[in-house]
Amino acid sequence: MPRKQVKKKSKKTSTRDVLLDAVLALREETEKAPHELTLNDVSERAGVSRMTLYRHFPTKQSLLESVREERGIEFVEQEDVRARILRAVREVLVKEGFSATMEVIAEKAGVGVATLYRQFGDKASLIGAFREHLRPSEILSELALSESEDVEADLSTFATRQIAVLQQHQDLLLLAIRAKLNKEEGTDTLAFSGVTIRALEQYFSKQLQAGRIAERGDSPRELAVAFVGAMLMSAWFYPTMSGEPPDAPERIGARVARIFVHGIQGESHE
């Protein structure tokens, strides 16, 4: 028998409530452990797009925290071996850099070196898995495939999700920048890597072809680099250098998207 979609409630809070209800429904209907539950599962169960979900909850952690705070339901995650290893990779990299050995990572994770090689093959593959673990791949693919007519909303959602991830991993961003400057191995762990630029490049190319972005001589790649630069400056570089606390991801994302799409001058100045 097909599952019934969670019914929407009142206008202002309906989408948020439907998403929270969907998490609780999945908890009852599936045997998945919390760490196996994906945002895609939640969006499908709620009958909304992933982009809509991200506008309300940029990360899975923020969604589960809202379920706990607003519905009083605690999700206790039992960490599996792979997750424990990836958590150990982070702790070791921050402390020792990319020169850290597989033996040190295995010891930190509480597993044998053989388990590490069995799970990931080699150190390069382990670092690659860690990079993918950090990257919000769902929103990258969704943005690249998007045909939305609302460019500002697309970019705002994308930036909010990316900035939420960035703010969780500032220590790794610093590590990756230092490693890149020192030409160390493994520097592609940077959260804003080439795949982010490529996703935005595809998106801008599609929107330029549709006539939703004005042709001013900038290539899709140049637009992508400029947008990522605005995100990094607003969400990380300026707060880090000034000592000022950063804004919430959704505020930064909305501001960067608005200025990027509309500029700071009115139509009379064009």
Give me the architecture of the 136-269 domain, per CATH.
Orthogonal Bundle (1.10)
81-132 shares its CATH topology with 136-269: no
Residue 6 has what pLDDT?
54
Q: Please tell me the distance from the alpha carbon of residue 77 to that of residue 85, in angstroms, as a whole number.
A: 15
Distance of CA 174 to the CA centre of its chain: 18
Whether this prediction's pTM lies above 0.85 is answered by: no
Please report, for residues 147, 151, 201, 204, the alpha-carbon distance to residue 210 in angstroms, rounded to integers and kept in the order given.
9, 11, 14, 10
What's the CATH code, domain 14-71?
1.10.357.10
Options 3.30.1600.10, 3.40.50.300, 1.10.10.60, 3.50.50.60; CATH of 81-132 = 1.10.10.60
Q: Helices in 97-188 by DSSP H: which ranges?
A: 102-109, 113-120, 123-134, 137-145, 151-168, 170-181
SS3 68: helix
Please report, for residues 15, 28, 74, 158, 244, the alpha-carbon distance to residue 21 in angstroms, rounded to integers and kept in the order given.
10, 11, 14, 24, 37
Residuewise pLDDT in 10s, the chain (270 residues)? 455 555 544 445 579 999 999 988 888 877 666 666 788 889 999 999 888 888 888 888 788 888 888 888 876 555 578 888 988 998 898 888 888 899 999 999 988 888 889 889 898 889 888 877 776 655 566 666 676 889 999 999 999 988 888 888 788 777 777 777 777 665 554 444 577 888 899 999 999 999 999 899 999 999 999 999 999 999 988 898 898 888 999 999 999 999 999 987 755 545
Residue 76 has what pLDDT?
58
Q: Which residues of 27-55 are buried (b: 16+ CB within 10 A; e: fewer)?
A: eeeeeeeeeebebeebbbbbebebbbbbb
Residue 191 has what pLDDT?
44
Q: Please tell me the distance from the alpha carbon of residue 60 to that of residue 229, in angstroms, as a whole number.
A: 25
What ranges do the domains of the chain cover?
A: 14-71, 81-132, 136-269
